[in-house]
Amino acid sequence: MSSHDNVDEGERLEIFGYGSLLWKHDFKFSVKENGYIVGFQRKFWQQNKTHRGTPEKPGRVAILHESHDEDKVWGIKFSVVGSTDVQEAREKLNIRETVLGGYISTYTTFYSETGVQCSVLVFTATNENDLYVGPISSNMDEDIEYIAEQVIRSCGFAGTNAEYVIKLADFVRNNFPQENDEHLFLLDKSVKEKMEENQ
């Protein structure tokens, strides 16, 4: 966390993290706050050929899938204050999320645990992206099984794909007890089972 003395607070950027940004945020911020966004589900429907995979063996990473209004995705809002830190954060996130991750940026509404609302920047992917794969089956168990097989065989410069899934599931369980992310938790369970089988 960074402290900001004598900065221009006129420029401010609110960023919502729901994937690896939850634990690996390589930009300066003033405040972080737990909360959620509405109308989305966290899904592992994006391939990754850099951070958690290679072009030969792509991994899987989380995106936001637009869904029903009652769906929530819990995460952390990072407040970046001051023109220098805002510009630096935008540049780093553009490389990390857009250039290497294949994501696009958009804005949605964040709801804090205390009920405060604000607009946040989020990074996700759509089916127009060549790394987007979507579900391979309408049956969730079959989809999870397929993704887990891909995950346990993939590794990129940030580490193994399995580490990403397990770390994300653990973080969500420990920090957002109100989150019931069936897709994430079933994938975490399947990945762990397959890792044990392969030992």
Looking at the annotation, which residues are catalytic? 97
**What is the C-alpha to C-alpha distance for residues 39 and 66, in angstroms, rounded to an integer?**
6
Question: 190: part of which helix (H) or strand (E)?
Answer: helix 182-197
Distance of CA 176 to the CA centre of its chain: 14
Give yes or no for a contact between 12 and 79, defined as CB atoms under 8 angstroms apart: yes
**What is the C-alpha to C-alpha distance for residues 15 and 76, in angstroms, rounded to an integer?**
8
If 0-12 CB within 10 Å is exposed, 13-18 middle and 19+ buried, where does residue 194 land?
Answer: middle
Place of tokens 């369980």: 173
Amino acid at 130: D
**What is the C-alpha to C-alpha distance for residues 170 and 46, in angstroms, rounded to an integer?**
20
